[in-house]
Chains A and B, each alone.
Chain A
């Protein structure tokens, strides 16, 4: 019994401490470590459009690689992070961002859970009042 718990714990710890796999190839990595770190951070927020919920940092697809190279080129050209995000969203829409921004187009999506929550509270509250 103790042995099996120990095995399960070991597996869990291994999973927790293991690094996620990245798809960046050695020839893509920038010599300037600050630039490379920026590129990695941007890549982690950019969706691989042809994969299942993967960022371009994790994906091996050719499009993800092209986008990783493009981001690095833009950083080398002196573009700010915001400019790079804008370049990508201008072409692929907000869908390319793994974390969708809060804007007028998707405001209802962000608000709907709260609307439902208040509706639920409202119904329960009046139901209880009626029962009493």
Chain B
């Protein structure tokens, strides 16, 4: 009986130890905060477009096809680094990409896109960062995958690297 009494806490202790060990070996980034929007509808917002005269309305803008939403700015160095991958998504994969230009100068953005190429189907102006707050963004660049029925499927914080490029491609394929 006494032995049994001590076995129970030991089992409990090893259970907790195994959980810690499991969390240590699985592929995860503990500093990454998961988006609260995952598997929810895209936030409701309206925005001015950089090139088009019409207003962008979120309830109409994410229908029928998978969309990549990319928060970027010309003053953001990591945005420049990931631009090559954003272009690849548009050119090689034909993905619809909506850019959200965060706290930037429209003229500078137009020049920046002329120099580097414009992979965006539409660019929305987020002059004071309110759209970013609606999306739970806390640092640019950030990229979201939206399914054809307007559900947020994935969020990546930081620049897209070759590894993230492959991951995003995989998620796009899964949601097609």
Contact = CB atoms under 8 A, between A and B. Distances in A.
Q: Please classify how large the interface on chain A is, using the bins under 10, 10 to 19, 20 to 34, 35 or more.
A: 10 to 19
Interface stretch (B55-63, B117-125, B128-136, B159-167): B128-136
Contacts of B132: 66
Nearest to B38: A93
Interface stretch (B5-13, B80-88, B89-97): B5-13
Contacts of A93: 33-36, 136
A119 B133 contact: no
Contact of A92 (B5, B43, B129, B138): B138
Contacts of A119: 9, 12
Looking at chain B's contact residues, the main secondary structure is loop
Contacts, number: 46
A73 B107 CA distance: 29
B34 A63 contact: no
Interface residues of B, number: 22
B133 A70 contact: yes
Interface of A: 49-50, 62-63, 66-67, 70, 89-93, 95, 119, 122-123, 126, 130
Interface of B: 2, 5-6, 9, 12, 33-37, 43, 103, 128-130, 132-136, 138-139
Given A63-B138, A93-B136, A119-B12, 9 more contacts: A49-B33, A49-B138, A62-B103, A67-B133, A70-B130, A91-B37, A91-B43, A126-B2, A130-B2
